[in-house]
Structure 1
Amino acid sequence: MTKAREVMHAGVECIPIHETLDRAAQMMRELDVGALPICGDDDRLHGIITDRDIVVKCVAAGRDPSKVTAGDLAQGTPRWVDADADVEQVIDEMSTHQIKRIPVMENKRLVGMISEADLGQKLSDEQIAKFVEKVYTRH
């Protein structure tokens, strides 16, 4: 069985919880990613911020991205999977919560991120179809 660690993109970088959204956008551009995990001073995962979050929840709401922090947009309990989770568990977690990216943890540390692109490159057509059907179907 394929494990999360075999599908994930390793070497993921966090945006500190107190960093501003303009810096988050710059990091996304530099890293060529659409999402960043938000980590606290304790190195714990506090959430994920996406490029869409910055646009919709900050810019379109008339807020200043140089004053709003990543932590200001961190909401709820972050979803994640263990590095040794079976890929079916990864698909189920992402599908259940209709999320397109998920952090991968090992020993309470962030070790990678799995995105739709990662799944598309590593999974069978059947697994991809299952994921797409569940994530993109409105409940």
Structure 2
Amino acid sequence: MTQHVSDIMTAAPVTVEPRTSVTAVARIMRDEDLGAVLVTDGDELRGLVTDRDLVIRSLAEGGDPDQTTVIGACSDDLVTVGPEDDLSHAVELMREHAVRRLPVVENGHPVGIVALADLAMERDPESALGDISVARPNT
């Protein structure tokens, strides 16, 4: 039976506006226990920002995180999938583009995120990656 992205994606992703401060995004990630959020302008997907992006593209540059906006830290050359795409297609895209997360877009609007961890849990929940994916953060 073919599985679709919608079967395992995280629906209703957390989004922020491009002018949201890096500090505010970091707090959202902390409070919601997230590693990534989508950057949207209205209903239009503009980027994806990870906790690593915040550190490498923003904090390491020395700017004031209260004044620096997330648009400068996010990835904006996005690879996306649709909710009805096969999971195998999502895996191919992740491999081809060396990404861990794919925004899920329907009719031009973000509706979810599918992550490498989601695929690990679906395909091989007994694997080391599957175990790590469900473990509580050690922070």
RMSD: 1.6
| Structure 1, unaligned runs of 5 or more | 130-139
Structure 2 partner of 1:134: none
Deviates most, 108-117 or 96-105: 108-117
Tell me, yes or no, if the aligned pair for 1:83 and 1:105 is still in contact at 8 Å: yes
TM-score by length of 1: 0.83
Shifted more, 84-93 versus 72-81: the winner is 72-81
Please report how far the alpha carbon of residue 117 of structure 1 lies from its aligned counterpart in structure 2 after TM superposition.
1.6
Matches within 5 A, 1:68-107: 68-107=68-107
1:76-125 C-alpha deviation (Å, 9 max, x unpaired) = 42211011110111011111110001111112121111112211111258
CA distance, structure 2, for counterparts of residue 7 and residue 22 of structure 1: 30
Report percent identity of matched pairs.
28
Aligned to 2:111: 111
Alpha-carbon distance in structure 2 between the residues aligned to 1:17 and 1:76 = 11
Look up the match of 2:137.
none
Q: Name the residue aligned to 1:19.
A: 20
SS in 2 for 1:82: coil
Shift of 1:73: 2.3
